[in-house]
Amino acid sequence: MPHSYLDVQPEVAHALAHNQPVVALESTIIAHGMPYPENVQTALRVEAHVRAHGAVPATIAVLNGKLKVGLTAAEIAQLGQAGPQVVKASRRDLPLLLATGALGATTVAGTMIVAALAGIRVFATGGLGGVHRGAQATMDISADLPELAQTPVAVVCAGAKSILDLPLTLEYLETHGVPVLGFQTNEFSAFFTRESGLPVDMRCDTPAQVAAILRARWALKHGGVVVANPIPAGLAMPRDAIDAAIAQALSDALARGVSGKAVTPFLLARVNALTGGDSLTANIGLVLNNAALAAAVATELARLA
């Protein structure tokens, strides 16, 4: 994709030109991940959190035929207010949005692509997409996973969303050669809960350890890395409670015929309703936690460079 499609905010461009740490942030979490106005408030808090931890935030979206790297507060508000009307922009959607000038909120995969084009190597999000439950029949596998196999960006997340089939998600990542690092944990985190019973490929106890692995990975011209950062203990939800809410949400989605891109937003909203809003509080907390770690990793990566 020609770089003429990129529109990099001056602050972000200056930071990249001077080897200063930059953290990419997705915009699907604004348009589809949370209700308004919490989505806008959270996006601005996450950007402030990245700054407070020593890095420059670069929220990414597709606006007016451009790949925007760094958004204004007004642009963030525009995405949040439009909500589900905004196109979820993954790899297949980017050229369509650029050609038509339509508004797009980038998914994990879409954000990785734009971040890599801009030269940003570290990206903070909430939870990774993955293999959906029942994928043996539906073949519903998030585009996030193949993107990780080819695009050299580290994704700092609270593991994969717990609405997914986590064993199959890890199996897919292993097959496609994507390392899964656990930050201060030996277990793959499961979004709302700290434990999944599933092992990571390697435990890293400091941001410097993560950065060293990223540098080695990209020296080999390989793709992305998953950095699984457990939700803070005080925000983690009881596993039995969240599993019950997810099971009910999945049943509701099936009964209503929800499919395709609408599945994840529906399930997250339904789980939030079933937990009395507790899952939204947890979601916001884990995103902030990931932003802080991503800033620390980006800082260490800049030092190595």
- CA Rg value for the chain: 18
Q: What proportion of the chain, given as a percentage, has pLDDT over 70?
A: 99
Q: Give per-10-residue mean pLDDT for the chain (305 aa).
A: 83 98 97 90 97 98 98 97 95 97 97 98 96 84 96 97 90 98 96 92 98 98 98 89 84 86 77 76 93 98 95
pLDDT of residue 142: 93
- The DSSP 8-state label assigned to residue 121 in this structure reads -
Q: Where are the beta strands (DSSP E) in 193-237?
A: 202-204, 225-228
Domain ranges for the chain: 3-304
Q: Is 171 a catalytic residue?
A: no
Identified catalytic residue from 68, 88, 161, 187:
161
7 φ, ψ (degrees, to nearest 5): -130, 95
Identified catalytic residue from 26, 75, 147, 300:
26
Is this model's pTM higher than 0.75 or not? yes
Q: Is 26 a catalytic residue?
A: yes
pLDDT of residue 297: 98
Tokens standing for residue 280? 């939204």
pLDDT of residue 160: 92
Each residue of 95-125: pLDDT tens digit?
Answer: 999 999 999 999 999 999 999 999 999 999 9
pLDDT of residue 2: 45
SS3 at position 104: strand
Distances 45 to 41, 42, 201, 303 between C-alpha atoms, Å: 6, 5, 31, 26
Task: Pinpoint the alpha helices (H) of the chain.
Answer: 10-17, 28, 38-52, 73-82, 94-100, 108-118, 135-138, 144-150, 166-175, 207-219, 239-256, 263-274, 278-304
pLDDT of residue 1: 40
Each residue of 184-200: pLDDT tens digit?
Answer: 999 999 988 898 999 99
- The DSSP 8-state label assigned to residue 154 in this structure reads E
Q: How many residues comprise the chain?
A: 305
Q: Give 3-304's CATH code, choosing from 1.10.8.60, 3.40.1790.10, 3.40.50.10490, 1.10.1050.10.
A: 3.40.1790.10
